[in-house]
């Protein structure tokens, strides 16, 4: 993986290197948006759930159009219509009941984190791989975060998605700033 990254830096287009400041500015804007998302975690959660619901409704319409464009394949037609109906129902529920939907999504995230954490710990213990402590610590962090969400549920469902989204945006913004500053060093 680092080889591809090194190739990017050694063969970076001159236009990218010359305009490193735009990447730094974009990184700062993304990080600030992440900070606002953390500050207003509940509103961010509801906005994200509503956006996800709208995407599902649009996807339902696209699948339905695709279903009617199939000619001669009745089994595919009915499968696609059923899929479109399920997408539409899920999207409408997310749009009309964002608080309850956020709680359900958070419960699913908590259970997912616990399951992946347990599997990660088992993998570290029984797979006989190098640096098993890294896999075990990742598993422990996942189990800890999952239990933290689960213990605070349903209240955690109202802000957890916005909090996670904000943290992700801050980390992505920092990465963009770091990339821009590395490109600046290449330009000099």
Distance (Å, rounded) from C-alpha 186 to C-alpha 188? 5
Please state, for a pLDDT cut of 90, what percent of the chain lies above it. 10
Is residue 26's pLDDT more than 70? yes
When pLDDT is cut at 50, 70 and 90, the band that residue 133 belongs to is confident
Is residue 1, in this structure, part of any structural domain at all?
A: no
What is the residue range of 115's domain? Answer: 13-187
Range of weakest confidence among 9-13, 63-67, 147-151: 9-13
Range of weakest confidence among 39-43, 155-159, 178-182, 184-188: 184-188
Is residue 180, in this structure, part of any structural domain at all?
A: yes
Distance (Å, rounded) from C-alpha 119 to C-alpha 122? 5
Distance (Å, rounded) from C-alpha 99 to C-alpha 154? 10
Distance (Å, rounded) from C-alpha 38 to C-alpha 34? 6
Q: What is the pTM of this model?
A: 0.66
And the tokens for 150?
A: 């689960």
Is residue 73, in this structure, part of any structural domain at all?
A: yes
How much is the pLDDT for 1?
46
Is residue 54, in this structure, part of any structural domain at all?
A: yes
Is residue 60, in this structure, part of any structural domain at all?
A: yes
How much is the pLDDT for 88?
92
How much is the pLDDT for 32?
92
Give the chain's mean pLDDT.
81
How much is the pLDDT for 57?
93
**Cα distance from N-terminal residue to C-terminal residue, the chain:** 26
C-alpha separations of 28 from 36, 43, 73 in Å? 12, 22, 51
Distance (Å, rounded) from C-alpha 110 to C-alpha 116? 10
Is residue 168's pLDDT more than 80? yes
Is residue 7, in this structure, part of any structural domain at all?
A: no
Distance (Å, rounded) from C-alpha 188 to C-alpha 136? 42
When pLDDT is cut at 50, 70 and 90, the band that residue 58 belongs to is very high
Is residue 41's pLDDT more than 90? no
CB 157, CB 21: distance < 8 Å: no
Instruction: Report the domain count for the chain.
Output: 1
CA atoms within 13 A on the CB side of 96: 7
Is residue 33, in this structure, part of any structural domain at all?
A: yes
Please state the rounded mean pLDDT for residues 144-162: 81
Task: Write the CB contacts of 14 (distance below 8 Å, at least 6 apart in sequence).
Answer: none
Is residue 182, in this structure, part of any structural domain at all?
A: yes
């Amino acid at each position: 993986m680092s080889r591809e990254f090194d190739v990017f830096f050694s063969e970076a287009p001159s236009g990218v290197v010359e305009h490193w400041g735009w990447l730094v500015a974009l990184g700062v804007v993304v990080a600030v948006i992440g900070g606002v998302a953390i500050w207003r975690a509940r509103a961010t959660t509801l906005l994200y759930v509503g956006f996800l619901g709208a995407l599902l409704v649009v996807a339902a319409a696209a699948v339905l159009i695709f279903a009617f464009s199939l000619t001669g394949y009745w089994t595919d037609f009915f499968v696609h219509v059923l899929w479109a109906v399920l997408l539409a129902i899920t999207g409408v529920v997310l749009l009309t009941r964002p608080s309850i939907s956020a709680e359900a999504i958070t419960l699913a995230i908590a259970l997912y984190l616990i399951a992946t954490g347990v599997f990660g710990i088992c993998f570290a213990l029984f797979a006989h791989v190098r640096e098993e402590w890294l896999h075990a610590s990742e598993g422990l962090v996942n189990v800890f975060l999952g239990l933290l969400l689960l213990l605070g549920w349903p209240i955690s469902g109202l802000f957890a998605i916005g909090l996670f989204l904000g943290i992700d945006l801050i980390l992505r913004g920092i990465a963009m700033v770091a990339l821009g500053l590395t490109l600046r060093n290449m330009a000099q």
